[in-house]
Amino acid sequence: MSCAFSKLVNCSWMSLYIPKLDATCVLSAKAIIHDDVLHIKQVHGTIESCVATCFGLSPFCNLIKYSPFAKLCNLYYENATHHDLQPNEQIGQSMHLLFHSCHKDITNIPVGILVQSKYQRNNAAKIHTPSIHKNCDFGRLPFVENFHAQRIQLIATSSLKRCFAFCEAPTHTTCNSVLFSAQEGTCLLLSRARNLALLGGIIPTLQSSALFFIILRCYNDFILPSAYTIPRFEEIVPTVYTLFNLTISLYPVQFYATKAAIRIGLWETVDETCCLMICLDKFLEDYCNGYYFSYGEKTCLTFSIRKNNSLPNSPLYRHIMQFSDDRENERADNDPPELHVFPILDEVCQLEFYKPLFLTGWSVITEIQSTTTLQECLSNCAEVMRAKNCSAIYFIDESCILLERMPHSQYHFIRQKASVFAELLFCEPNIR
């Protein structure tokens, strides 16, 4: 049976998927007589959060009064063996609901809607996940299809970027899809067979805030500078700390060096110290010898460095690579990267526009005069990105300078205030 959200009181039985529980809960309309019930709690939030709170208090919560306009939730307990399930019209703008049960298996709910899934057109999109330095192509699938996917882990986050990053973070993972609710701040990591046809099935009678996305592919958001070589531990001067009778040597390296590492996992952390403590924790001490803390995302990505690039650890000595963004301080004030489409090349590129005037690690390839637009200058670089290692442009007064990224900071470039300096982080064929 289906009933509209705005007419909930006119529907006797209903079901709703609750993202915080990864379960479908069954409710029915029932007038609340305040003299016969015990008030348990009042909270503000969505109907989904309201039901989740009631479930958490069960068996001492079995009645819900919810106002969708004020987003006010009052929870009650009624000690009764008989419940009148007839809808009541005289309850104003609030919904009066009897809480019955919650089910992990959607086929076990006594009320639902049988649907047939269909693919949506123009469903492909891109997202940048700075926590793991990757770009991901993804698509949206009908909500019902999530019930045919294997559950991996439920994570609390209100960021779709971080949700995708948690799925893709481990090098060895079966996660390839997510059920995400920004409203509820939940991210359910899922594994779904790649070539599985749309199956349809039973869905709750009420629409959930959760959206089902499948990740088509992810790839690095950077290109290694042509002359870059991955350093070994013994080639780097470490910073040495003593903590808990443990000597810790941190070896600062650019994120490029993660090419020689296996990603373990991603955690949300408040600062870099917490990130280091995760790597030092006993449950990771045999594996973790590298980490990357994203200051923008407040996340910690842990690594296991391959043996030929690492040093042996012991109970008293730990050697850990401290990965950081290339020219992290220099790029700190730049705006987030953005995607630009180049129709002539039929490509899409991710660009980062620089604010500092003094820039390190760049070498001029060539200068192209009589370049009238920034788009034309960027296209010139994208066209020779692979042939001539072009990775940035400098545009001023109809002059377009193409630049190559160099691995050493002694190469520098000084730009004028009225100019544009943009790095092309990556380019690929445009998906339409």
Residues 66 and 94 in one domain: yes
* 53 within domain boundaries: yes
Share of the chain above pLDDT 90, in %: 58
- Mean pLDDT, rounded, of the chain: 88
State the average pLDDT over residues 408-412.
Answer: 72
pLDDT value at residue 84: 55
Residues 370 and 405 in one domain: yes
What's the CATH number where 50 sits? 3.50.4
| Domain termination residue (choose one: 87, 115, 143) | 115
pLDDT value at residue 86: 52
Task: Write 42-46 long-range contacts (CB < 8 A, 24+).
Answer: 42/72, 42/73, 42/74, 42/75, 43/73, 43/75, 44/70, 44/71, 44/72, 44/73, 45/71, 45/73, 46/71, 46/183, 46/184, 46/209
Single-letter code of the amino acid located at 19: P
Residues 31 and 77 in one domain: yes
Residues 170 and 100 in one domain: no
208 Cβ partners below 8 Å, 6+ apart?
16, 17, 18, 19, 48, 143, 181
Residues 192 and 246 in one domain: no
* 37 within domain boundaries: yes
Residue pLDDT, tens place only, 173-188: 999 999 999 999 999 9
* 4 within domain boundaries: no
The residue written with tokens 């987030």 in the block is 336
The residue segments making up the domain with residue 178 are: 118-220
Residues 138 and 213 in one domain: yes
Residue pLDDT, tens place only, 328-364: 778 888 988 888 899 888 888 889 999 999 998 898 9
Residues 100 and 123 in one domain: no
Residue pLDDT, tens place only, 363-381: 899 999 999 999 999 999 9
Residue pLDDT, tens place only, 205-224: 999 999 999 999 999 888 77
Residues 149 and 100 in one domain: no
Residues 377 and 294 in one domain: no
What is the pTM for the complete model shown?
0.79
Task: Count the domains in the chain.
Answer: 4
